[in-house]
Amino acid sequence: MKKWSLALLLMMLLINFSCDKDSDNSPDPIDEGEELSMEEKARALILSLPAGDTGVVLKYIDPNQHIQHNHQYADGRDALIEAVLAGEFDNTQINIVRSLTDDNLVVLHSEYLIDGQSQVAFDVFRFEDGLIVEHWDNFQVSQPVNEAGHNMLDGPTEIADLDQTENNRTMVKDFISQVMIEGNYELMSEYLNEDQSLIQHNPMMADSLSGMLSMMDTLAAQRFSFTYDMLHQTIAMGDFVLTISEGQYGLESEPAAYYDLFRVEEGNLAEHWDVIQVIAPDEEWNNTNGKF
């Protein structure tokens, strides 16, 4: 009797396991009993795309509103679901390196490996009532390390000095407005420490103020545009501040988006990462929202 009961129990377990496997071919990483933070939802969303998990898209994107600023996709979450089902992300791997949250905005700074090509990206998500309602991004093909040996993603990832968020936001906004947009480069030193040091992750720049000015002089001599025209967003959390700006870039002075991430230390710019992307022409857009 005991042997028969044990065999029956094992058979029932096998049947249940088989049914569960057939009903869901991929594990659900979401704990239904736990409300995730906005950052956790944003992370889950972008990681679900190469995994082919449209359930995460359905769960965390608002069904009635999803404003898209990536030119490749139409508005609405259905456009993203269609892209996943069409296999557009099948050859993509994503490594999220750092993140920050500011009110209802989440920023993810990541490496995308797309068809074997490494690209660095910023994704920005806006939330309403716990759901994603808007998305911006900026991509740039990864470049070799710069003169100082830094790549486009390495460096600190932990947020510090949360009590200085607003002071840091104001300082970085002033830097972009007064120096990069208005062109008052002589003021640049006022935003750095006494040693004029700045850890630089831009692949064309060396560390320090002199490294940045040298690169800008070189580009100017080549008539290579590197200009900022308008600041659209400033997103801050502790010692990290991201600015999103519009300008001109390249030998053809093409419209471009500048995403600049700064780490602030004791009221000075201490470290800088960026992603620069030329904006696609209007005829290539699948939505009417524009880059910003």
- Three-class SS string for the chain? CHHHHHHHHHHHHHHHHHHHHHHCCCCCCCCCCCCCCHHHHHHHHHHHHHHCCHHHHHHHECCCCCEECCCCCCCCHHHHHHHHHCCCCCCEEEEEEEEEEECCEEEEEEEEEECCEEEEEEEEEEEECCEEEEEEEEEEECCCCCCCCCCCCCCCCCCCCHHHHHHHHHHHHHHHHHHHHCCCHHHHHHHCCCCCCCEECCCCCCCHHHHHHHHHHHHHHCCCEEEEEEEEEEEEECCEEEEEEEEEEECCCEEEEEEEEEEEECCEEEEEEEEEEECCCHHHCCCCCCCC
Residue 151 lies in a domain: no
* pLDDT of res. 31: 52
Residue 149 lies in a domain: no
Give yes or no: residues 73 and 112 share one domain: yes
Residue 150 lies in a domain: no
Give yes or no: residues 134 and 206 share one domain: no
* CATH number of 179's domain: 3.10.450.50
Give yes or no: residues 252 and 170 share one domain: yes
Give yes or no: residues 199 and 256 share one domain: yes
Residue where a domain terminates, one of 141, 173, 199: 141
Give yes or no: residues 134 and 188 share one domain: no
Give yes or no: residues 188 and 137 share one domain: no
* pLDDT of res. 194: 86
Residue 157 lies in a domain: no
Residue 193 lies in a domain: yes
Residue where a domain terminates, one of 111, 141, 171: 141
Residue 174 lies in a domain: yes
66: containing domain: 2-141
Encode the chain (292 residues) as per-residue pLDDT tens digits.
Answer: 333 443 433 333 333 433 343 333 333 455 556 899 999 999 999 999 999 999 999 999 999 999 999 999 999 999 999 999 999 999 999 999 999 999 999 999 999 999 999 999 999 999 999 999 999 999 999 999 999 999 999 999 999 999 999 999 999 999 999 999 999 999 999 999 888 899 999 999 989 888 888 888 999 999 999 999 999 999 999 999 999 999 999 999 999 999 999 999 999 999 999 999 999 999 999 999 999 9
Residue 128 lies in a domain: yes
Give yes or no: residues 9 and 94 share one domain: yes
Give yes or no: residues 187 and 119 share one domain: no
Give yes or no: residues 167 and 275 share one domain: yes
Give yes or no: residues 241 and 119 share one domain: no
Give yes or no: residues 44 and 130 share one domain: yes
Residue where a domain terminates, one of 141, 170, 201: 141
Give yes or no: residues 93 and 179 share one domain: no
Residue 60 lies in a domain: yes
Domain count, the chain: 2
